[in-house]
Amino acid sequence: MITQEVEKETPQKQGMLNNVMRQFNNASDIIELNTNIRKILGITNNELVVHFPVKMDNGEVEVFTGYRVQHNNALGPYKGGLRYHPTVDIDAARALAMWMTWKTSLAGLPYGGAKGGIQLDPTKYSTSELERITRRFTYALGDNIGPELDIPAPDVNTNPQTMAWILDTYMSTKSPNERSTNMHVVTGKPIGAGGSEGRDRATGYSVFLNIKFWAAHTNTTLKNKKFIVQGFGNVGYWAAHFLENEGAKMVGVQDAFGSIYNPDGIDVESLLAYNQSHGNIVGFANTVSIPTEDFFSLACDICIPAALGNQITISNANAIKASVIAEGANGPTDVEAEQMLLQRGVAILPDILCNSGGVIGSYFEWLQNRNGEIWSLEEVMQKLEKKLYESFKKVIEVSENRNVDKRTAAFIIAIERLEQAYVQRGIFP
Ligand code: NAD
Protein backbone atom coordinates (compact mmCIF):
# COMPACT_ATOMS: atom_id res chain seq x y z
CA MET A 1 0.00 0.00 0.00
CA ILE A 2 1.52 3.32 -0.96
CA THR A 3 0.68 6.14 1.39
CA GLN A 4 1.40 9.85 1.26
CA GLU A 5 3.07 12.16 3.78
CA VAL A 6 6.41 11.82 5.42
CA GLU A 7 7.24 8.54 7.11
CA LYS A 8 8.41 8.51 10.68
CA GLU A 9 12.06 7.69 11.19
CA THR A 10 13.43 4.84 9.09
CA PRO A 11 13.59 1.73 11.27
CA GLN A 12 16.73 -0.29 11.73
CA LYS A 13 17.44 -2.95 9.16
CA GLN A 14 20.95 -3.82 10.33
CA GLY A 15 21.26 -7.33 11.47
CA MET A 16 18.63 -9.08 9.31
CA LEU A 17 21.35 -10.99 7.48
CA ASN A 18 23.04 -11.76 10.77
CA ASN A 19 19.72 -13.02 12.16
CA VAL A 20 18.85 -15.30 9.26
CA MET A 21 22.38 -16.76 9.24
CA ARG A 22 22.23 -17.45 12.98
CA GLN A 23 18.83 -19.10 12.59
CA PHE A 24 20.17 -21.21 9.71
CA ASN A 25 23.36 -22.20 11.56
CA ASN A 26 21.48 -23.08 14.73
CA ALA A 27 19.14 -25.49 12.88
CA SER A 28 22.01 -26.86 10.76
CA ASP A 29 24.03 -27.66 13.90
CA ILE A 30 21.10 -29.57 15.39
CA ILE A 31 20.60 -31.75 12.32
CA GLU A 32 24.35 -31.95 11.66
CA LEU A 33 23.82 -30.71 8.13
CA ASN A 34 26.33 -32.05 5.61
CA THR A 35 29.13 -29.44 5.55
CA ASN A 36 29.19 -29.19 1.75
CA ILE A 37 25.48 -28.50 1.61
CA ARG A 38 25.88 -25.97 4.41
CA LYS A 39 28.42 -24.14 2.24
CA ILE A 40 25.94 -23.98 -0.65
CA LEU A 41 22.95 -22.89 1.41
CA GLY A 42 24.95 -20.36 3.43
CA ILE A 43 25.53 -18.16 0.39
CA THR A 44 23.38 -16.68 -2.37
CA ASN A 45 23.52 -18.02 -5.94
CA ASN A 46 23.19 -14.73 -7.84
CA GLU A 47 23.11 -11.06 -6.90
CA LEU A 48 22.07 -8.40 -9.35
CA VAL A 49 22.46 -4.66 -8.67
CA VAL A 50 21.15 -2.34 -11.36
CA HIS A 51 21.39 1.43 -11.69
CA PHE A 52 18.82 2.82 -14.07
CA PRO A 53 17.74 6.32 -15.16
CA VAL A 54 14.13 7.50 -15.04
CA LYS A 55 12.63 10.74 -16.31
CA MET A 56 10.79 12.57 -13.51
CA ASP A 57 7.61 14.63 -13.92
CA ASN A 58 9.66 17.85 -13.95
CA GLY A 59 11.78 16.64 -16.88
CA GLU A 60 14.89 15.92 -14.77
CA VAL A 61 16.46 12.46 -14.77
CA GLU A 62 17.01 10.52 -11.53
CA VAL A 63 19.15 7.39 -11.28
CA PHE A 64 17.81 4.60 -9.03
CA THR A 65 19.43 1.51 -7.58
CA GLY A 66 17.53 -1.78 -7.74
CA TYR A 67 18.39 -5.21 -6.39
CA ARG A 68 17.47 -8.82 -7.07
CA VAL A 69 19.13 -11.50 -5.02
CA GLN A 70 18.55 -15.15 -5.96
CA HIS A 71 19.48 -17.29 -2.99
CA ASN A 72 18.75 -20.85 -4.07
CA ASN A 73 16.80 -22.71 -6.76
CA ALA A 74 17.39 -26.36 -5.88
CA LEU A 75 13.65 -26.97 -5.48
CA GLY A 76 12.36 -24.80 -8.35
CA PRO A 77 12.37 -21.28 -9.79
CA TYR A 78 13.41 -18.41 -7.53
CA LYS A 79 10.42 -16.78 -5.82
CA GLY A 80 10.09 -13.68 -3.66
CA GLY A 81 8.83 -10.14 -3.36
CA LEU A 82 9.99 -6.73 -4.48
CA ARG A 83 10.16 -4.02 -1.81
CA TYR A 84 10.28 -0.26 -2.38
CA HIS A 85 11.81 1.28 0.73
CA PRO A 86 14.82 3.39 1.79
CA THR A 87 16.20 0.42 3.78
CA VAL A 88 16.49 -1.83 0.71
CA ASP A 89 20.14 -2.70 0.08
CA ILE A 90 22.15 -5.75 -0.83
CA ASP A 91 22.25 -7.18 2.71
CA ALA A 92 18.51 -6.70 3.23
CA ALA A 93 17.85 -8.41 -0.12
CA ARG A 94 20.21 -11.28 0.79
CA ALA A 95 18.54 -11.86 4.14
CA LEU A 96 15.02 -11.69 2.75
CA ALA A 97 15.96 -13.98 -0.18
CA MET A 98 17.27 -16.60 2.26
CA TRP A 99 14.09 -16.48 4.31
CA MET A 100 12.17 -17.10 1.07
CA THR A 101 14.16 -20.28 0.39
CA TRP A 102 13.30 -21.67 3.83
CA LYS A 103 9.68 -20.54 3.51
CA THR A 104 9.02 -22.16 0.13
CA SER A 105 10.81 -25.33 1.21
CA LEU A 106 8.81 -25.56 4.45
CA ALA A 107 5.57 -25.05 2.52
CA GLY A 108 6.49 -27.93 0.19
CA LEU A 109 6.37 -25.70 -2.91
CA PRO A 110 8.40 -26.27 -6.09
CA TYR A 111 10.25 -22.97 -5.60
CA GLY A 112 13.50 -21.49 -4.42
CA GLY A 113 14.05 -18.13 -2.75
CA ALA A 114 14.73 -14.61 -4.00
CA LYS A 115 14.03 -11.02 -2.98
CA GLY A 116 14.70 -7.56 -4.31
CA GLY A 117 13.48 -4.06 -4.66
CA ILE A 118 14.46 -0.48 -5.09
CA GLN A 119 16.03 1.78 -2.51
CA LEU A 120 13.56 4.65 -2.49
CA ASP A 121 10.86 6.33 -0.47
CA PRO A 122 7.73 5.93 -2.63
CA THR A 123 5.93 8.74 -0.79
CA LYS A 124 8.25 11.16 -2.61
CA TYR A 125 7.10 10.16 -6.12
CA SER A 126 3.92 10.58 -8.15
CA THR A 127 2.01 7.56 -9.44
CA SER A 128 3.25 8.14 -12.98
CA GLU A 129 6.84 8.41 -11.73
CA LEU A 130 6.41 5.14 -9.81
CA GLU A 131 5.07 3.53 -12.97
CA ARG A 132 8.10 4.66 -15.01
CA ILE A 133 10.49 3.61 -12.19
CA THR A 134 8.86 0.16 -12.07
CA ARG A 135 8.87 -0.31 -15.82
CA ARG A 136 12.49 0.80 -16.18
CA PHE A 137 13.54 -1.47 -13.29
CA THR A 138 11.78 -4.39 -14.99
CA TYR A 139 13.59 -3.58 -18.22
CA ALA A 140 16.92 -3.44 -16.34
CA LEU A 141 16.25 -6.84 -14.76
CA GLY A 142 15.62 -8.19 -18.30
CA ASP A 143 15.77 -11.95 -18.57
CA ASN A 144 17.16 -12.34 -15.06
CA ILE A 145 13.52 -12.78 -14.08
CA GLY A 146 11.10 -15.05 -15.94
CA PRO A 147 8.06 -17.28 -15.38
CA GLU A 148 10.21 -20.40 -15.02
CA LEU A 149 13.28 -18.66 -13.62
CA ASP A 150 12.49 -16.01 -11.02
CA ILE A 151 9.00 -14.81 -10.18
CA PRO A 152 8.61 -11.55 -8.19
CA ALA A 153 5.56 -10.62 -6.09
CA PRO A 154 4.39 -7.66 -3.96
CA ASP A 155 6.05 -6.73 -0.69
CA VAL A 156 6.34 -3.51 1.34
CA ASN A 157 5.12 -0.52 -0.72
CA THR A 158 4.44 -2.57 -3.84
CA ASN A 159 0.99 -3.85 -4.74
CA PRO A 160 -1.07 -5.48 -7.52
CA GLN A 161 -0.71 -2.35 -9.66
CA THR A 162 3.09 -2.59 -9.42
CA MET A 163 2.88 -6.23 -10.54
CA ALA A 164 0.63 -5.29 -13.50
CA TRP A 165 3.25 -2.75 -14.69
CA ILE A 166 5.98 -5.38 -14.38
CA LEU A 167 3.93 -7.94 -16.30
CA ASP A 168 3.08 -5.48 -19.06
CA THR A 169 6.69 -4.33 -19.44
CA TYR A 170 8.06 -7.86 -19.40
CA MET A 171 5.50 -9.11 -21.93
CA SER A 172 6.12 -6.13 -24.19
CA THR A 173 9.77 -7.10 -24.53
CA LYS A 174 8.82 -10.57 -25.88
CA SER A 175 7.90 -11.50 -29.43
CA PRO A 176 4.12 -11.43 -30.08
CA ASN A 177 3.69 -15.20 -30.10
CA GLU A 178 5.40 -15.54 -26.70
CA ARG A 179 3.59 -12.77 -24.87
CA SER A 180 0.66 -14.60 -23.37
CA THR A 181 2.89 -17.46 -22.20
CA ASN A 182 4.59 -15.06 -19.79
CA MET A 183 1.61 -14.24 -17.60
CA HIS A 184 3.20 -16.03 -14.64
CA VAL A 185 6.36 -13.89 -14.58
CA VAL A 186 4.90 -12.14 -11.52
CA THR A 187 2.24 -13.07 -8.97
CA GLY A 188 0.02 -10.83 -6.89
CA LYS A 189 -1.42 -9.27 -10.05
CA PRO A 190 -4.86 -7.60 -10.13
CA ILE A 191 -7.57 -10.14 -10.88
CA GLY A 192 -8.33 -8.50 -14.24
CA ALA A 193 -4.68 -8.82 -15.27
CA GLY A 194 -4.14 -12.52 -14.59
CA GLY A 195 -4.26 -12.38 -10.79
CA SER A 196 -5.89 -15.00 -8.58
CA GLU A 197 -8.87 -14.76 -6.31
CA GLY A 198 -7.69 -14.74 -2.72
CA ARG A 199 -4.08 -13.70 -3.33
CA ASP A 200 -4.82 -10.28 -1.78
CA ARG A 201 -5.80 -11.82 1.58
CA ALA A 202 -3.61 -14.94 1.49
CA THR A 203 -0.82 -13.66 3.75
CA GLY A 204 -3.08 -12.12 6.38
CA TYR A 205 -5.24 -15.22 6.29
CA SER A 206 -2.25 -17.39 7.04
CA VAL A 207 -1.28 -15.18 9.97
CA PHE A 208 -4.83 -15.53 11.27
CA LEU A 209 -5.00 -19.28 10.66
CA ASN A 210 -1.71 -19.91 12.42
CA ILE A 211 -3.02 -18.01 15.45
CA LYS A 212 -6.23 -20.04 15.26
CA PHE A 213 -4.35 -23.34 14.96
CA TRP A 214 -2.20 -22.28 17.91
CA ALA A 215 -5.28 -21.41 19.97
CA ALA A 216 -6.81 -24.82 19.23
CA HIS A 217 -3.50 -26.53 20.04
CA THR A 218 -3.37 -24.78 23.41
CA ASN A 219 -7.08 -25.33 24.13
CA THR A 220 -8.16 -21.73 23.97
CA THR A 221 -10.36 -19.64 21.67
CA LEU A 222 -9.89 -16.29 19.99
CA LYS A 223 -13.14 -14.85 21.27
CA ASN A 224 -12.51 -11.55 23.14
CA LYS A 225 -8.76 -11.93 22.87
CA LYS A 226 -7.02 -8.57 22.44
CA PHE A 227 -4.49 -8.07 19.66
CA ILE A 228 -2.14 -5.37 18.42
CA VAL A 229 -0.86 -5.00 14.85
CA GLN A 230 2.27 -3.25 13.68
CA GLY A 231 1.75 -2.31 10.01
CA PHE A 232 -1.73 -1.80 8.61
CA GLY A 233 -0.93 -2.67 5.00
CA ASN A 234 -1.82 -5.79 3.08
CA VAL A 235 -0.73 -8.27 5.74
CA GLY A 236 -1.73 -6.33 8.87
CA TYR A 237 -5.17 -5.37 7.61
CA TRP A 238 -6.18 -8.84 6.42
CA ALA A 239 -4.89 -10.53 9.58
CA ALA A 240 -6.93 -8.05 11.65
CA HIS A 241 -9.98 -8.56 9.43
CA PHE A 242 -10.06 -12.32 9.97
CA LEU A 243 -9.26 -12.08 13.69
CA GLU A 244 -12.07 -9.59 14.24
CA ASN A 245 -14.49 -11.90 12.40
CA GLU A 246 -13.49 -14.62 14.86
CA GLY A 247 -14.44 -12.43 17.83
CA ALA A 248 -11.01 -11.03 18.76
CA LYS A 249 -10.56 -7.32 19.46
CA MET A 250 -7.94 -5.02 17.91
CA VAL A 251 -6.73 -2.59 20.60
CA GLY A 252 -3.57 -1.07 19.10
CA VAL A 253 -2.20 -0.34 15.63
CA GLN A 254 1.06 1.18 14.47
CA ASP A 255 2.01 2.27 10.97
CA ALA A 256 4.90 4.29 9.56
CA PHE A 257 3.28 7.50 10.78
CA GLY A 258 2.29 6.74 14.37
CA SER A 259 0.54 4.47 16.87
CA ILE A 260 -3.08 4.44 18.06
CA TYR A 261 -4.72 2.72 21.02
CA ASN A 262 -8.19 2.00 22.37
CA PRO A 263 -8.49 -0.72 25.04
CA ASP A 264 -12.18 -1.15 24.16
CA GLY A 265 -11.42 -2.02 20.56
CA ILE A 266 -10.75 -0.39 17.17
CA ASP A 267 -13.12 -1.31 14.34
CA VAL A 268 -10.99 -2.89 11.59
CA GLU A 269 -13.12 -1.99 8.56
CA SER A 270 -13.63 1.62 9.69
CA LEU A 271 -9.89 1.97 10.20
CA LEU A 272 -9.29 0.59 6.70
CA ALA A 273 -11.63 3.22 5.23
CA TYR A 274 -9.92 5.94 7.29
CA ASN A 275 -6.47 4.75 6.19
CA GLN A 276 -7.56 4.77 2.55
CA SER A 277 -8.85 8.33 2.74
CA HIS A 278 -6.13 9.80 5.00
CA GLY A 279 -3.11 7.83 3.84
CA ASN A 280 -2.36 6.68 7.41
CA ILE A 281 -4.03 5.65 10.68
CA VAL A 282 -3.13 8.62 12.87
CA GLY A 283 -6.06 10.59 14.33
CA PHE A 284 -8.65 7.80 13.91
CA ALA A 285 -11.80 8.47 15.99
CA ASN A 286 -11.95 7.21 19.59
CA THR A 287 -8.28 6.32 19.75
CA VAL A 288 -5.40 7.97 21.56
CA SER A 289 -1.99 8.45 20.01
CA ILE A 290 0.80 6.75 21.90
CA PRO A 291 4.59 7.11 21.58
CA THR A 292 6.15 4.73 19.07
CA GLU A 293 8.40 3.14 21.70
CA ASP A 294 5.39 2.22 23.89
CA PHE A 295 3.58 0.26 21.20
CA PHE A 296 4.86 -3.25 21.89
CA SER A 297 4.19 -2.90 25.63
CA LEU A 298 0.43 -2.43 25.16
CA ALA A 299 -1.75 -4.84 27.15
CA CYS A 300 -2.91 -7.60 24.78
CA ASP A 301 -2.95 -11.37 24.21
CA ILE A 302 -1.68 -11.48 20.62
CA CYS A 303 1.00 -9.35 18.98
CA ILE A 304 1.29 -9.22 15.19
CA PRO A 305 4.35 -7.52 13.77
CA ALA A 306 3.40 -6.97 10.10
CA ALA A 307 5.73 -4.19 8.95
CA LEU A 308 9.52 -4.43 8.73
CA GLY A 309 12.38 -6.54 10.07
CA ASN A 310 14.12 -6.19 13.46
CA GLN A 311 11.24 -4.51 15.25
CA ILE A 312 11.26 -6.72 18.36
CA THR A 313 14.68 -6.39 19.93
CA ILE A 314 16.28 -6.52 23.38
CA SER A 315 15.05 -2.96 23.90
CA ASN A 316 11.35 -3.92 23.89
CA ALA A 317 11.12 -7.73 24.18
CA ASN A 318 10.70 -7.83 27.94
CA ALA A 319 7.92 -5.24 27.83
CA ILE A 320 5.75 -7.37 25.53
CA LYS A 321 2.55 -8.46 27.31
CA ALA A 322 1.20 -10.78 24.60
CA SER A 323 1.45 -14.53 25.13
CA VAL A 324 1.80 -15.21 21.41
CA ILE A 325 3.64 -13.35 18.66
CA ALA A 326 2.46 -14.10 15.13
CA GLU A 327 5.08 -12.93 12.66
CA GLY A 328 3.35 -11.42 9.63
CA ALA A 329 6.51 -9.54 8.67
CA ASN A 330 9.72 -11.22 7.60
CA GLY A 331 12.37 -11.20 10.31
CA PRO A 332 10.55 -8.94 12.82
CA THR A 333 12.14 -10.56 15.90
CA ASP A 334 15.90 -10.60 16.33
CA VAL A 335 17.73 -13.59 17.78
CA GLU A 336 18.44 -12.10 21.23
CA ALA A 337 14.87 -10.86 21.65
CA GLU A 338 13.58 -14.29 20.69
CA GLN A 339 15.64 -15.92 23.45
CA MET A 340 14.24 -13.47 26.01
CA LEU A 341 10.68 -14.11 24.87
CA LEU A 342 11.03 -17.89 24.83
CA GLN A 343 12.46 -17.82 28.36
CA ARG A 344 9.34 -15.97 29.48
CA GLY A 345 7.15 -18.60 27.82
CA VAL A 346 5.92 -16.38 24.99
CA ALA A 347 5.01 -18.46 21.92
CA ILE A 348 6.43 -17.27 18.60
CA LEU A 349 4.78 -18.37 15.37
CA PRO A 350 7.76 -17.87 13.05
CA ASP A 351 7.60 -15.83 9.85
CA ILE A 352 8.48 -18.67 7.47
CA LEU A 353 5.43 -20.55 8.74
CA CYS A 354 3.08 -17.76 9.81
CA ASN A 355 3.16 -15.57 6.68
CA SER A 356 3.69 -18.43 4.20
CA GLY A 357 0.11 -18.11 2.94
CA GLY A 358 1.36 -15.29 0.69
CA VAL A 359 3.75 -17.41 -1.30
CA ILE A 360 1.32 -20.35 -1.29
CA GLY A 361 -1.34 -18.01 -2.74
CA SER A 362 1.24 -16.87 -5.29
CA TYR A 363 1.92 -20.49 -6.20
CA PHE A 364 -1.81 -21.00 -6.84
CA GLU A 365 -1.84 -17.93 -9.09
CA TRP A 366 1.24 -19.16 -10.97
CA LEU A 367 -0.33 -22.61 -11.44
CA GLN A 368 -3.57 -21.12 -12.79
CA ASN A 369 -1.68 -18.90 -15.28
CA ARG A 370 0.53 -21.79 -16.35
CA ASN A 371 -2.41 -24.16 -16.86
CA GLY A 372 -4.97 -21.69 -18.21
CA GLU A 373 -7.27 -22.24 -15.23
CA ILE A 374 -9.37 -19.89 -13.12
CA TRP A 375 -10.19 -21.00 -9.57
CA SER A 376 -12.94 -19.59 -7.35
CA LEU A 377 -12.21 -17.72 -4.11
CA GLU A 378 -13.67 -20.60 -2.13
CA GLU A 379 -11.40 -23.11 -3.85
CA VAL A 380 -8.30 -20.98 -3.25
CA MET A 381 -9.10 -20.44 0.44
CA GLN A 382 -9.78 -24.15 1.01
CA LYS A 383 -6.54 -25.20 -0.65
CA LEU A 384 -4.68 -22.55 1.32
CA GLU A 385 -6.08 -23.72 4.64
CA LYS A 386 -5.22 -27.34 3.88
CA LYS A 387 -1.61 -26.53 3.04
CA LEU A 388 -1.18 -24.20 5.99
CA TYR A 389 -2.52 -26.77 8.41
CA GLU A 390 -0.10 -29.41 7.08
CA SER A 391 2.83 -27.04 7.66
CA PHE A 392 1.59 -26.07 11.13
CA LYS A 393 1.21 -29.71 12.15
CA LYS A 394 4.69 -30.62 10.89
CA VAL A 395 6.28 -27.71 12.75
CA ILE A 396 4.55 -28.64 16.01
CA GLU A 397 5.55 -32.29 15.61
CA VAL A 398 9.22 -31.53 14.98
CA SER A 399 9.23 -28.93 17.74
CA GLU A 400 7.86 -31.45 20.25
CA ASN A 401 9.88 -34.45 19.06
CA ARG A 402 13.18 -32.60 19.04
CA ASN A 403 12.37 -30.32 21.95
CA VAL A 404 13.18 -27.16 19.98
CA ASP A 405 11.33 -23.89 19.51
CA LYS A 406 8.98 -23.51 16.56
CA ARG A 407 11.35 -21.39 14.45
CA THR A 408 14.11 -23.96 14.78
CA ALA A 409 11.62 -26.72 13.92
CA ALA A 410 10.49 -24.84 10.81
CA PHE A 411 14.10 -24.32 9.71
CA ILE A 412 14.89 -28.00 10.29
CA ILE A 413 12.03 -29.11 8.03
CA ALA A 414 13.01 -26.60 5.35
CA ILE A 415 16.72 -27.44 5.41
CA GLU A 416 16.19 -31.21 5.45
CA ARG A 417 14.07 -31.00 2.29
CA LEU A 418 16.84 -29.07 0.52
CA GLU A 419 19.49 -31.44 1.86
CA GLN A 420 17.62 -34.39 0.40
CA ALA A 421 17.45 -32.72 -3.03
CA TYR A 422 21.21 -32.13 -3.05
CA VAL A 423 22.04 -35.60 -1.75
CA GLN A 424 19.86 -37.29 -4.38
CA ARG A 425 21.05 -35.13 -7.28
CA GLY A 426 24.70 -34.63 -6.45
CA ILE A 427 26.70 -31.61 -7.55
CA PHE A 428 27.39 -30.90 -11.23
CA PRO A 429 29.76 -31.85 -12.86
P1 NAD B 1 2.48 -2.89 2.90
O2 NAD B 1 3.35 -1.95 2.17
O3 NAD B 1 1.15 -3.24 2.34
O4 NAD B 1 2.25 -2.38 4.39
C5 NAD B 1 3.30 -2.05 5.23
C6 NAD B 1 2.73 -1.41 6.49
O7 NAD B 1 3.80 -1.25 7.42
C8 NAD B 1 2.15 -0.02 6.26
O9 NAD B 1 1.03 0.16 7.09
C10 NAD B 1 3.27 0.91 6.72
O11 NAD B 1 2.81 2.19 7.13
C12 NAD B 1 3.81 0.09 7.88
N13 NAD B 1 5.18 0.48 8.25
C14 NAD B 1 6.23 0.78 7.44
N15 NAD B 1 7.27 1.16 8.19
C16 NAD B 1 6.89 1.08 9.47
C17 NAD B 1 7.53 1.34 10.70
N18 NAD B 1 8.78 1.78 10.74
N19 NAD B 1 6.82 1.16 11.85
C20 NAD B 1 5.55 0.74 11.83
N21 NAD B 1 4.88 0.47 10.69
C22 NAD B 1 5.55 0.65 9.53
O23 NAD B 1 3.39 -4.21 3.09
P24 NAD B 1 2.89 -5.71 3.33
O25 NAD B 1 2.80 -6.37 2.01
O26 NAD B 1 1.73 -5.72 4.24
O27 NAD B 1 4.17 -6.34 4.05
C28 NAD B 1 4.36 -6.22 5.47
C29 NAD B 1 5.36 -7.27 5.93
O30 NAD B 1 4.86 -8.57 5.61
C31 NAD B 1 6.73 -7.19 5.29
O32 NAD B 1 7.71 -7.58 6.23
C33 NAD B 1 6.67 -8.23 4.19
O34 NAD B 1 7.94 -8.72 3.83
C35 NAD B 1 5.84 -9.29 4.86
N36 NAD B 1 5.16 -10.20 3.94
C37 NAD B 1 4.33 -9.74 2.99
C38 NAD B 1 3.70 -10.63 2.13
C39 NAD B 1 2.68 -10.19 1.11
O40 NAD B 1 2.07 -11.07 0.49
N41 NAD B 1 2.48 -8.91 0.90
C42 NAD B 1 3.96 -12.02 2.25
C43 NAD B 1 4.80 -12.47 3.26
C44 NAD B 1 5.40 -11.55 4.11
Does residue 281's CB lie within 6 angstroms of at least one atom of ligand 1?
no
Using pLDDT thresholds of 50, 70 and 90, give the confidence band for residue 298.
very high
pLDDT at 366 over 60: yes
pLDDT at 12 over 50: no
pLDDT digits 0-9 by tens, 216-260: 999 999 999 999 999 999 999 999 999 999 999 999 999 999 999
Q: Let me know: does 391 contact 209? Beta carbons within 8 Å.
A: no
Cα–Cα distance measured from residue 378 to residue 384, given in angstroms and rounded to the nearest whole number: 10
**What is the average per-residue pLDDT within 304-330?**
98
Q: Are 79 and 103 in contact (CB under 8 A)?
A: no
Per-residue pLDDT of 71-109, as tens digits, reads 999 999 999 999 999 999 999 999 999 999 999 999 999
Residues 170-202: tens digit of each pLDDT: 999 999 999 889 999 999 999 999 999 999 999
Dihedral sign for Cα atoms in the order 85, 88, 92, 97: positive
The fraction of the chain above a pLDDT of 90, given in percent, is 96
Question: Are 362 and 184 within 8 A, CB to CB?
Answer: no
Q: What's the mean pLDDT in 254-271?
A: 98
Residue type, 77: P
Q: Look up the pTM and report it.
A: 0.96
Question: Average pLDDT of the chain?
Answer: 95
Q: Say how far apart CA 33 and CA 413 lie, in whole Å.
A: 12
- CB of residue 203 inside a 6 A radius of ligand 1: yes
Pocket test for ligand 1, best of 19, 84, 100, 155 (most atoms within 8 A of CB): 155
CB-CB contact of 116 with 140 (8 Å): no
Pocket flag, ligand 1, residue 117 (CB < 6 Å): no
What mean pLDDT do residues 353-371 have?
98
| Residue whose CA lies nearest to ligand 1 atom number 31 | 329
pLDDT of residue 180: 86
Catalytic residue IDs: 115
Per-residue confidence at 400, pLDDT binned at 50, 70, 90? Answer: very high
Which domains occur in the chain, in start order?
13-193 (3.40.50.10860), 202-354 (3.40.50.720)
Residue 232 Cα, ligand 1 centroid: separation in angstroms? 7
CA nearest to 141, candidates 63, 86, 69, 71:
69
The pLDDT tens digits of the residues spanning 103-157 come to: 999 999 999 999 999 999 999 999 999 999 999 999 999 999 999 999 999 999 9
Q: State if residue 330 touches ligand 1 by the CB under 6 angstroms criterion.
A: yes
